[in-house]
Amino acid sequence: MINIGGILIESLQKLLETWVKDGYKFTAPNNTVHIYIYGSNVKVGDRCSLGDDCSLGYRCSLGDDCSLGDRCSLGDRCSLGYDCSLGDDCSLGYDCSLGYRCSLGDDCSLGDRCSLGDDCSLGYDCSLGDDCSLGDDCSLGVPPLWFSGSRYSIGYHSPGMVNSGCITKPIKWWEKNIKRCAEEHKYTSEQVEEYVWRVKVLADWMKMHGVYEIIA
């Protein structure tokens, strides 16, 4: 089952064979979703998700579990490995390749013939010129974020991870347990509220910069 702009399609191969011929504009029945697929020989893996108004060039390929935000554009012959994620308004030039589990924040742009290794992360509004190449586990444009509260300090540690005091845990763990931890340490109600709010800000910031998920 493939999710394209909110529409589930059981057989993407059949869709491509029928509609992807020298460019095709697909409009959802409610006229709110627009998928633009240009060129032929486009390949999309299982469980992929494309946002509104995306365009895929000739011979583009997406591995399984990839997701593209709204208004993403991939030039001809671009390839994305397994479990790659692009935020909104990202653009890739011709002949770009991304390895496994790469993450690009909103408004990122790659020039022609760019190459990213596995587990690379680009933050919001990053830009690479033509013929740039990054090896595995590279991270760009993701500055650290740190808060000092009335009884604690907490901040970004690494993709998917947050540190507070001597504890480093996944951000998802903090979102689930932060209130309980603060209450167990006998924080006042105002301090608990402050602590919870800081974690929410961190989570939103990490999502915006494409570092919310842990890179294995």
Contacts for 174 with CB less than 8 Å, ≥ 6 apart? 154, 162, 164, 199, 202, 203
Contacts for 190 with CB less than 8 Å, ≥ 6 apart? none
pTM over 0.75, yes/no:
no
| pLDDT tens, position by position, 120-169 | 888 777 889 899 999 998 888 766 788 877 777 888 888 899 988 778 99
| pLDDT tens, position by position, 12-55 | 444 444 444 444 444 344 444 445 555 578 888 888 888 888 88
Residue 216: per-residue pLDDT: 63
- Structural domains in the chain? 2-140 (2.160.10.10), 146-208 (no CATH)
Residue 23: per-residue pLDDT: 44
Residue 4: per-residue pLDDT: 44
Q: What is the mean pLDDT of residues 89-110?
A: 92
**Do residues 127 and 108 lie in contact, with contact meaning Cβ atoms separated by under 8 Å?**
yes
Contacts for 184 with CB less than 8 Å, ≥ 6 apart? none
What percentage of the chain reaches a pLDDT higher than 70? 80
Residue 175: per-residue pLDDT: 94
For residue 8, give the amino acid letter.
L
